[in-house]
Amino acid sequence: MSLRSSALVLAAALLTRAMPLAIGVLVATFFGPSDYADTVLMITAANLCGSLPMLAVTPLILRSPDDALATWLARRGVALGLPLILVAALLVSPVLNLVGNWVFLFCYSAAVFVFGVAQTLHNQRLDNLRALFHATAVTAAALFAAVATYLAGGAVGLVVNALAATMLAASLLSFALIRAGAKPQPRPHFASGALNALWSGLFSLLVIAGLFISASRARHAGDPDGYVAFSLGLQVFSIVVFIPGAMSGYFIPKLVRAGAETGARVGPAVRAYLLLAVPAFCAAVALSPLFFRYLEQPPQPRLIAIFALIQFAAVLAAVNAAYNQVLVASGRFATLAKLSAGWLLTLVGVLWLRGDQTIWIAAAIALAYAALVFASRHACRSAWPRRKELA
């Protein structure tokens, strides 16, 4: 991977994955820490609503051998995914009873979904510069709408709804422009790849469900300061984890084109992701007192410990993203779903033992990811028995 390609992919990934953090900063700045923490929970719920279609569609696009098939999968995926997201938003909204409503849940999760599909099409074509331009345009439009709504006197619910609706409109427009320039599309059988899509979607759904359960437990733990620290931890977690994960948009098409044996060399990918995750962990923990002061929270050791535990889980999750990359390249979607189910069961089991303290909830996430890393490594060894390449 050239230095220029690496920079373009990382820049586009940062813009794509930093939107939740940007929303959190806006709400914390305009409305305060209480609304901030609840907004983080609402973003997590929105991600839960859109996770199944997102991970059902994007890996199949990345593994498509040609542009025509990738575009057909994207069109079909968006057409089927948006109604599913609407139903999920209507079901989840009454459970939350937070700022915003089902409008935010639908618009934001649908926007992230369409945004992700459009980015994936650029990645499948190895068109890194256009991916960066697309991410910049959509992100800038959404943030401008949020700030303009606040300056016009909008409350927190109206501000986040305006941001989500603008992001959805911009993503749909961008996706339409990509489709307009596509090649004639094939008409594969409707069920082609459906089982892989289902397993892939479950992989994401189960992980985000675990994070949503954890955030909900933290909200009801009777520890307001701990809840803010936990929410901040999840915000930074998303950056540490999903930036390495987004690099799969570059690597998976390369692995598919080069042949599955290339994917066996997971060791270099793990080391590359560690080089991103470990410095991010150190920087996040070192800067955490400043983050707490910004959120009007005392930088107590207990709050920093909650934050640090979630960041340690992020390092483990970044390592696991490398193993996921290899499994996706080899088409082992059912294995990914089973690993995520094991992660969720481990998390819920630890929370059941002592899930009434915020710091223990954070520790449960780290323990569950530690178990997942070992299980994922074993799954990669099973996929490629040549152990020397996996060392």
For residue 387, the model assigns a pLDDT of: 38
Query: At CA 158, angle to CA 152 and CA 160, rounded to 5?
Result: 110
CA dist., res. 391 & res. 373, Å (int): 14
pLDDT at 36 over 70: yes
Q: What average pLDDT does the structure give for the chain?
A: 79
Lowest mean pLDDT across 40-44, 53-57, 316-320, 385-389: 385-389
For residue 305, the model assigns a pLDDT of: 92
Question: HSE on the CB side for 100, CA within 13 Å?
Answer: 33
For residue 262, the model assigns a pLDDT of: 46
Q: If you average pLDDT over residues 296-301, what whole number do you get?
A: 82
pTM comes to 0.72
Better-predicted residue by pLDDT, 152 or 69: 152
And the tokens for 279?
């410095």
Q: Using CA atoms in the order 359, 341, 90, 46, what is the torsion angle rounded to 10 degrees? A: 50
Let me know: does 303 contact 225? Beta carbons within 8 Å.
Answer: yes
Signed CA dihedral, 337, 343, 346, 347: sign only: negative
Q: Which residues contact 344 (CB under 8 A, 6 or more apart)?
A: 206, 207, 209, 210, 368
For residue 165, the model assigns a pLDDT of: 92
Q: Tell me: the pLDDT tens digits for 264-289?
A: 556 766 777 787 788 888 888 888 88
CA dist., res. 205 & res. 48, Å (int): 6
Lowest mean pLDDT across 96-105, 165-174, 214-223: 96-105
Lowest mean pLDDT across 203-207, 261-265, 307-311, 350-354: 261-265
